Amino acid sequence: MAVSRRQFLGTATALGGAVLLASPGAAHAITGSIPDYEPTRESLDTHPVARWYKDAKFGVFIHWGVYSVPAGSGRHIASEWYLWYQSYRGTDQWKYHRDTYGEDFVYDDFIPRFTAENYDPDSWVRLFEQAGAEYFVLTGKHHDGFALFPSKVTDRHSVAYGPGRDLVGELFAAARKRCTVRPGLYYSLGEFFNPAIGRPMRNFYTDEEIPLVGYKPVEDYIGDYELKQLYEVIDRYDPELLWADGQWFRPTGDPPWRSEEPMAHYYNQAKNRRRPKGVVVNDRFDTHYDFATYEQRTNPQMDPRKWECCITMGYSWGYNKWETDEDYKTSKFLIHLLADVVSKNGNLLLNIGPRPDGTIPGIMQERLRDIGAWLDVNGPAIYGSTPWVRAEEEGAQPGIRYTVTPGAFNVIVLGAPGGTLSLPGDIPISATSRVRLLGRGGTLTWTREDGRIHIAVPSRLPSDFANTFTVDWERRRA
């Protein structure tokens, strides 16, 4: 890819401000003497947000699992909740399942149809690269409890059943081979149905209790199963990011999740190595977090605390076969969203839902590639940027978003302005500043008049979606 791709393995970026901030002095980071994190909220709260994550700005979320097989019971329905919706007697979803598959066909009967036969992790990673994504987050285990990784505490996973493959391991290996996109893992703490959580699996038409495929009996859902799986994935895959979910499905008696324990282990194993690396966690572990999750919405304010907007392209997270092209957000919408989120100190985690055979629907690929093409040109204003004092100009048409990158002040115009671009006089520009348009050679003429800055906009612009005007930030000799 052209200009914008940044390799992430440089020590400086990997360590970044992250480790240095964690320690009282730089010398500690260099000698590796940061004290270990303790499994307490207080200790974990001293963990800094990894520099790479702050800089990355754009990631791909992947919802893939057994639920991708039925692929939704209707158009505007989250397919990964199929099992839960189906469990409510008399609802449309309950009827849909009965009418389509019959009363004797239970959710776990979908497992053999989750084949992953065309799953090509290398091509997934290449697609994420083309999208300009700097990380991805794969659903290691969603609320249906079916893991995409092998486990000692249960056989309910993709190696023992269904695909017969370690779907997580293969994608992580592909990403690490290419060193371009950082691998992250989603893990649902709670589950819809699990005897150990106090809700056994049932046939929802006869109400008969039925075995959960792969289940190995445990006493304590959290201690004997959930925490052990978290340790398994941390130790086996060494993810750059852990994304928790489903914390509201607590076991009977409402015990605490004790997430501080695996989290301290995760942070310690990331720093206690010859070449420490920065890792991050989201805010659904019910304890400390590095970034806040804004699900299907954005943060209207610039927020000094790092946050992430996760959003679907259509309505569903998992593949939903009922969705039509009109249900998809346009590339223009998604590019505007990315600029908006970044201007307010957020990251965008954009979701795709592969089919059960491992192929990624064309429209999802198209959206990702459109964003990538835009980032090829405008990436210098996105990656590694920080917000300016104002994120946007209210009421501006087309909309305007600001970012700051080393050496430049960036004005991202959400559209294709014509004639003159007029900006408030307080933007950082001095008599010697040069103004350029990303994706086009040469400098643009500009003037300061009536307390405003006026930039002459070329008649042909690089993008119909959004265009970036950058102002040299550094002082130059006249």
Decide if residue 352 touches ligand GLC (CB under 6 A). Answer: no
Among 185, 310, 391, 437, binds ligand GLC (CB under 6 A): 310
Candidates 1-9, 18-26, 75-83, 145-153 — which segment interacts with ligand GLC by CB under 6 A?
75-83
Q: Report the distance separating Cα 56 and Cα 322, nearest Å.
A: 33
User: Does residue 290 interact with ligand GLC by CB under 6 A?
Assistant: no
Which is nearer to ligand GLC, 186 or 402 (by Cβ)? 186
- Partners of 469 in the beta sheet? 411, 437
CB 266 within 8 A of CB 281: yes
- Determine the 3-state secondary structure of 180 from DSSP: coil
- Say if strands 452-456 and 443-444 run parallel, antiparallel, or are unpaired: unpaired
Among the candidate windows 74-82, 205-213, 326-334, 411-419, which touches ligand GLC by CB under 6 A?
A: 74-82
Stretch of residues binding ligand GLC (CB under 6 A), selected from 73-81, 84-92, 257-265, 359-367? 73-81
The single residue among 55, 80, 134, 260 that binds ligand GLC, judged by CB under 6 A, is 80
How much of the chain is in helix, strand and coil states, percent to nearest 5?
Answer: 30, 20, 50
Q: How far is the CB of 160 from ligand GLC (least distance, A)?
A: 23
Work out the burial of residue 9: count CB atoms within 10 Å of its CB; fewer than 13 is exposed, 13-18 middle, 19 or more buried. exposed
CA gap 335, 343 in Å, rounded = 12
Residue written as token pair 């189906």: 86
76 in contact with ligand GLC (CB under 6 A): no
Per CB under 6 A, contacts with ligand GLC among 213-252 are 245
Please list, in sequence order, all residues whose beta carbon lies within 8 angstroms of the beta carbon of residue 98, skipping any fewer than 6 positions away. 205
* Residues from 104 through 163 that contact ligand GLC (CB under 6 A): none
Q: Could you say whether residue 78 binds ligand GLC (CB under 6 A)?
A: yes
Give the SS3 label for residue 435.
strand
Whole-number minimum distance, CB 121 to ligand GLC, in Å? 21
* 52 near ligand GLC (CB under 6 A): no
295 binds ligand GLC per the rule CB under 6 A: yes
CA angle 190, 164, 201 (to 5 degrees): 35
Q: Which two tokens stand for residue 23?
A: 């320690």
- The nearer residue to ligand GLC, 264 or 348, going by C-beta atoms, is 348
Question: Residue 61, CB half-sphere, CA atoms under 13 Å: how many?
Answer: 26
Nearer to ligand GLC among residue 8 and residue 64 (C-beta): 64
Nearest to 213 by CA among 64, 66, 63: 66
Nearest-approach distance from CB 144 to ligand GLC, in angstroms: 10
In degrees, rounded to 5, the angle at the alpha carbon of residue 87 between the alpha carbons of residues 82 and 90 is 110
Shortest Å, Cβ 317 to ligand GLC: 5
Q: Which stretch binds ligand GLC (CB under 6 A): 77-85, 147-155, 378-386, 401-409?
A: 77-85
| Nearest-angstrom CA–CA distance, 350 and 136 | 9
103 near ligand GLC, judged by CB under 6 A: no
317 binds ligand GLC (CB under 6 A): yes
| Position closest to ligand GLC via CB | 295
Residues binding ligand GLC (CB under 6 A)? 63, 78, 80-81, 245, 295, 310, 317
